[in-house]
A and B are shown apart, each in its own frame.
Chain A
Amino acid sequence: MMTLTQTIVMALIQIIAILAFIFMLVPMLTFAERKVIGYVQVRLGATRIAGGRTGLTGAVNKFMWWMGHFPVISFFRGLPTFMADGIKLVTKEDIMPAKADKFVFWLAPIICMVPAFAVFAAVAFYPGVLGTLPAWVPIVGGLPVNGFMTDINVGLLYILGLASVGVYGIVLGAWASNSKYPLLGGLRSAAQVVSYEVPLTLSLLAPVILTGSLNFRQMSVDLATKMPPLAILPLFIGFFAYITCGFAETNRVPFDLAEAESELVSGFHTEYTGMKFGWFFLSEYTNMIVVSALATAFFLGGHYLLPFGLQSFVPASWGWIAQPHLIFFIGKIGFLLFVFLWVRATLPRYRYDQLMSVGWKYFIPLTLVNLFIAGAVRFMA
């Protein structure tokens, strides 16, 4: 049993680990977006930083030009842009419109960002102990490190509640900008996010029915390994419903009319610059990671290899493949993020009223039916 200081220090270590993970993954995701969308569009994406050939950036550029000779690693030309983008966001001038509501203008990006980070407290990266800290570590030496930060029994409820708080940031940011275009974008986005919360939650209720608990870790393990054969159907339908609602929640194409670049310039974050914009920007990518993490954990088999509950038919004697691994979880998240980028490069965007009608008239009935199917499967098993 851990003492209070040990608990606090262990929690701090896990927080730092999660933050490090996010702060590594999100800039890499912005870099990957530019490269993947570029390659889809028959062009190279970002291949250099700062443009010059002199000095430190020049040396980096010349090295990246040289990397272009080799087939696979040439994709990673331009990798330093993830740092360059971060530096750019932090060093840009911070402009606030004259009649903007100062406090709310400052607060809105924070309201967007904090829930996006806080959700990770309930996400289980590995359903067990990742390792033990070596004994020489000062206060917590020798203690096991869990693959999850908390193991609360209402983990899913916590996640969904926090995700819903994010919409306040959008609406307040739009209103505080005191400008017509952001206002339009913010109103559209608020209505969109609130509408798609309903099918999102309903699609997540199907796994809850199938497993009978809201505990993130337990759900992700059970949904992979303890599913009856018929569970493929509600998990499959639920996956597509969840992912599509996830696109709508994170304001990604085809549901990105809140920031429709060709219509509203930049939607609700038009008037934001510098790091305030950076927080909006990063919170969008963090939300993408959250949506992918939930989809992976619940529908795609999480820490195990096979999706949709198929892992239940893999006997334990198959050894390595039948065990959970962190790499499966991270890999599947990566694949889903790639799908996000792929869809952005390919599809046009929905018009506002069409988006609302798709959400209310198509997805809510679909997820309700899925709920019945999940209930029937659970009843029969």
Chain B
Amino acid sequence: MFKNEEMEINLGPQHPSTHGVLRVKLRLDGETVKHCYPVIGYLHRGVEKICEDKTFFQGQVWTDRMDYVAAVSNNLGWAEAVEKLLGISVPRRAKYVRTLLTELNRISSHLLWLGTHAMDIGAMTVFLYAFREREEILDIFEAFCGARLTTTAFRIGGLRDDIPPGFEAKVRAFLDRFLPCIDEYEELLTENRIWKKRTIGVAPISAEDCIAMGVTGPVLRAAGVPYDIRKAAPYAAYDEMQFDIPTRMEADTFARYQVRLEEMKQSHRIAVQCMDGLPEGTVMAKLPKILKSEVNEVYHAIEAPKGELGYYLVGEKGGVNPYRFHVRGPSFVNLQALPMMTEGKLLADVIAAIGTLDVVLGEVDR
């Protein structure tokens, strides 16, 4: 007598909480998700093709705009990939400053994640508290390279300039102030009954499924697999740093929340070590004026805040541009796990799942 109809609904591309222009086609039976199909490409700008026409020096600018939240990480990956391709080694001081800035960027990316994820679930205030700290980090970036968001912070072979005067004081002031702020966020969320109900058991994905889909980053670590490229294949100055890899076993949204908070504390630890142990020396290697590549291909992966960020570069004989440039974007791969995490769950969980995967559409679409 009553027909049970499934409703096909579109979540976005314009939506307050799909972080960017993500479109998710959902088939709902009441509130339950029967089928979830992410549609991407709304932010595709052809970055990989464009970089085939740009020199190795110019290509870095486009990497800022991929994962625009964690631009410094992207810059680090590009610089190191090109240095690997061309066989350039970087002075130690430059490695330390690069590590410092990348860890600060990890903190700022996780702060943005925390703010937007909490706001999607309804706790509006955490967003502003997290951005208060993020503003300080963005001021630090601005002091170093002149830009807050699209930083282009590094150069092939090191850094453009040494750290400016007053930079160390700024960084130390932030690092001294930061750990109690994490406690403030935890006070608002971790023991909050409603937060726990919205995140424990929500959007789970097992470790086997993670590895099968290629999901990396905090999602994988919250499923129990202690895989972090900073430890597995160290780059920059990470082999000289002491830090832990936070893991959890529950593999749900609450576990990822805890893992990312813990990662912020570990990043803080690394940043303090960088500041304390900053070696003397130059910040730029001796390079020819025009960088030419050989017939060579390289894949260099770094641990971006969102997961394994891989750069695949192919050089040609005497070429000033890369022959082919491909990015293994962690958000792109992680997003493929979204149907697995949400089918059979409720609509509100889809929002939580998109938030907990920490997707940035610039990286998904490039």
Contacts and interface: CB of A to CB of B under 8 A. Distances in A.
Contacts of A347: 122-123, 192, 194
Contact of A346 (B121, B188, B346, B349): B188
B198 interface: yes
B222 interface: no
A353 B128 contact: no
Interface stretch (A39-47, A72-80, A81-89, A306-314): A39-47
Residue among A37, A262, A344 with most chain B CB within 10 A: A262
Contact of B16 (A41, A265, A349, A353): A265
Contact of B198 (A41, A184, A351): A351
A301 to B, nearest CB: 29
Interface string A254-275: 1011001111010000000000
A345 B124 contact: yes
Given A42-B132, A257-B348, A37 B124 contact: yes
A184 B30 CA distance: 8
B33 to A, nearest CB: 13
Tell me whether chain A's interface is mostly helix, strand or loop, or mixed: loop
Residue among B31, B122, B123, B194 with most chain A CB within 10 A: B122
Contact of A348 (B16, B31, B118): B118
Interface residues of A, number: 29
Contacts of A344: 124
Nearest to B188: A346
B129 interface: yes
B193 to A, nearest CB: 9
B7 A349 contact: no
B125 A262 contact: no
Interface in B97-154: 118-125, 127-129, 132
Given A260-B122, A348-B198, 16 more contacts: A42-B128, A42-B132, A43-B128, A184-B347, A254-B194, A256-B122, A262-B121, A263-B351, A344-B124, A346-B125, A347-B123, A348-B121, A348-B122, A348-B195, A349-B122, A351-B197
27 contacts: A41-B124, A42-B128, A42-B132, A43-B128, A188-B31, A254-B122, A254-B194, A256-B122, A260-B122, A261-B16, A262-B120, A262-B351, A263-B120, A263-B347, A345-B124, A346-B188, A347-B194, A348-B195, A349-B122, A349-B194, A350-B194, A351-B197, A351-B346, A352-B346, A352-B348, A353-B31, A353-B346
